[in-house]
Each structure stands twice: as structure tokens, then as C-alpha cells.
Amino acid sequence: MTGFFLKIVFYLIAITLFVSSLGGANAQMTEKTVNLPKTIGVWTRSDSTRFIDSNNIFEYMNGAGELYLAYGFDHIEVYEYTADPEGSILVEVYVMTTSNDAFGLLSLDWGGEPVRVYSGLASSSHPSVSPSARALYGGGLLRIWADTLYARVMAYRETPASKQAVLSLGQTIAENRKMPAEPDLLKILPKAVGSVWTLKKDRIAYFRSHLVLNSLYYLSHQNILDLDHSTEAVIAPYEDLSNAGTPKRVQVLFVKYPSPARARKALETFHNAYLHEYQKQIDPGITHESINAFKIEDGWLGYALDGPFLTIVFECPNRESAKMIIKQISLNTPKKERDHEK
């Protein structure tokens, strides 16, 4: 799914949520995670706060809740500000179980204008692989990653005044929040491979579910990689800009499983489903020292298994590119962790 299409999807969801926020059941919660002001500019907040959890998320989102349940989700707090005739401002605070899960939601679309809504410094001893933005604004919608919170603040009618109000609310949400580094899993992505392939950092996405993977890069309607909340995955494209015209692009998928046995089983399932014509010719339970590559309809596909880690590259122009990219990624996998798990 392209960044543009993701933005359209998020915007449509935002409109749906605004309409559905006018009614529906409330989860049985009362403790607020954030303390928002009663008024912001000419807008006034309702005294009631809606609490949405897994029991009523589909009522609230009319079926779109899978996106959030695919991550470590706890609940949503919904606040509505109104001001006639300025239109309403909807605030949604998604309380996630980990900072990585909150980051994952932001990483699904890096589109928009990076804005600063926090005052602290990111606690990272490693250079950022993904875009450094923790808040993105566009079309009246502000999206924020603030520790274990993912927040969406949307002005139903965008004006200079509503933009200022939205950003001010974002600052309140992010205030005094910890600022952990991006997920460690992203460190396996080299910024470049050789002199040819360059990482498209504004297309990096972190996720746990095959439903999210399919929205980013469709593989199958079935969960052929055995992804769930116990797994972590990152996908990103690399581009070859050396040729004139449309640049060549490959997709890199890296998954961390709870154990080597789980990773091997997942690879076997993937191979039998995606590469069934080759299933009798290779042993899928290999390590990065022996990389498998196959010519399929849209280019070369390569994969390697290394303890609990699985690397798959798609749409490579040749076998050599697939092997080169996988070998470079294998150098970035945490050696102590993979050796301990073997």
C-alpha cells in the first residue's frame, strides 16, 4: 500500500470515527491517561470521555479495529471539542502495551509535515534508522508517537486557528512523556547495501500481524508467516537509483520469532504456500550461510534463516542482488541473541 493510499485510509477512518463518536457503548473505565484542557482557543471539551477497549472497538470503528488490535492494544480515550461554526476537534489517545507498538502505528504512514510537540530529547544511543519525526501533521490531522501512546488529533474543518489548537493539544498529550528509541529490530536495516541499494527510510514499517503486512505488501490472505503478538517484524524497500527512469526497488522483510523452532516452522509454511513449485528441491531449514533464491513472476526472491530470525527479500533483479542484501542484513543481526537461541 502506498503512502498516499495509507493517508487516504487514515483520513477516512478519522471521518468514520468522528461520526461514530456521537454514539455507542463505553468501556467500563474511568481513569484518564492524559489531562486535556477544558478549552483550547474557541473550542470547548465535553465533560464526558469515551473509553474504547477490545470489547467495543468494532462498534466504534465500524470494523476498522483490526489495525489496532494487530498491535499491543489496551484502550482508546476519546475526547471531543466543539465550537460553532468552527467545527469539531476529535482527540483519540491510543494506550498501547509497549512503546514499540505505539511506534508501529505511526510507522504505517510517514506522510505529512514533521512537527515538534515535545520538549525532551530522544533517549537513543544508536542513530535513528527511521525518520526522526515523532509527530506528523497534514490535512487537519496530527499523529503522535509519545512513549506507549499513539494519538490522533483531527480538526473536522482545517483553518489556521484549528491547526494551532490541534498542535497545542498534541503538545499537552506528549508533555512529560518518556521518549524511548525506535524498536531495536530496525537496527538490522543497513542504510545502504553496496554501492547500489539505498534504504527508503520513509517507507519503514514495524508490525506484528499478517493483516498489517498485507496492507503494506500483500502475500496471502492466510497467515503464512505465523505472525502474532509474540513476533516482531519490519519491512522496508531499497532502491537502485543508478539507472535513469523509474528506479528499481526491492522489498526486505525481517521477522524475529520467539524461538528458532518457531522460525523454522514459519519458513516451511511460507515456502510451501508461496514457493510450492520448489518445495521438493530445497531444505527450507537453513542458516544465513546458505541463502536460497528463486526466480518467480516479479523477480528473484531470497530467504535465509538464522536462529530465531528470518530474512526474506522480494522483487530482486537477479540472484546476486538477493544474496548480497541478505548477507548484509545478517551482519546486523544480534549475534549473541541468535547464538544463544540456536
Q: Is the per-residue pLDDT at 50 higher than 60?
A: yes
> What is the pLDDT, as a whole number, of residue 121?
54
Q: Which DSSP symbol is given to 247?
A: P
- φ and ψ at 301, to 5 degrees? -115, 130
Query: What number is the average pLDDT over the span 300-322?
Result: 95
What is the C-alpha to C-alpha distance for residues 215 and 324, in angstroms, rounded to an integer?
Answer: 27
pTM: predicted TM-score of the whole model, two decimal places? 0.87
Tell me the Cα Rg of the chain. Answer: 21
Condensed to tens digits (0 to 9), the pLDDT of residues 178-229 reads 889 999 999 999 999 988 899 999 999 999 999 999 999 999 999 999 999 9
278: its cell numbers: 520448489
**One-letter amino acid of 134:** R
> What is the pLDDT, as a whole number, of residue 12?
42
**Residue ranges matching CATH 3.40.1000 in the chain:** 3-174, 184-341
Cis peptide before 85 (omega within 30 of 0): yes
> What is the pLDDT, as a whole number, of residue 289?
52
CA nearest 109: which of 253, 191, 10, 219? 10
User: Contact at 8 Å (CB) between 302 and 274?
Assistant: no
User: Contact at 8 Å (CB) between 88 and 81?
Assistant: yes
What share of the chain has pLDDT > 90, as a percent? 73
Q: Is the per-residue pLDDT at 72 higher than 60?
A: yes
> What is the pLDDT, as a whole number, of residue 338?
58
Query: What number is the average pLDDT over the span 144-167?
Result: 97
Query: What number is the average pLDDT over the span 284-297?
Result: 71
> Which residue(s) pair with 149 in the sheet?
95, 146
Q: How confident is the model at residue 13 (pLDDT cuts 50, 70, 90)?
A: very low
184: its cell numbers: 531495536
Query: What number is the average pLDDT over the span 58-75?
Result: 91
CATH of region 3-174: 3.40.1000
What is the C-alpha to C-alpha distance for residues 214 and 219, in angstroms, rounded to an integer?
Answer: 6
CATH of region 184-341: 3.40.1000
> What is the pLDDT, as a whole number, of residue 5?
42
- Listed in sequence order, the DSSP H helices in 22-139 are 57-61, 66-69, 99-107
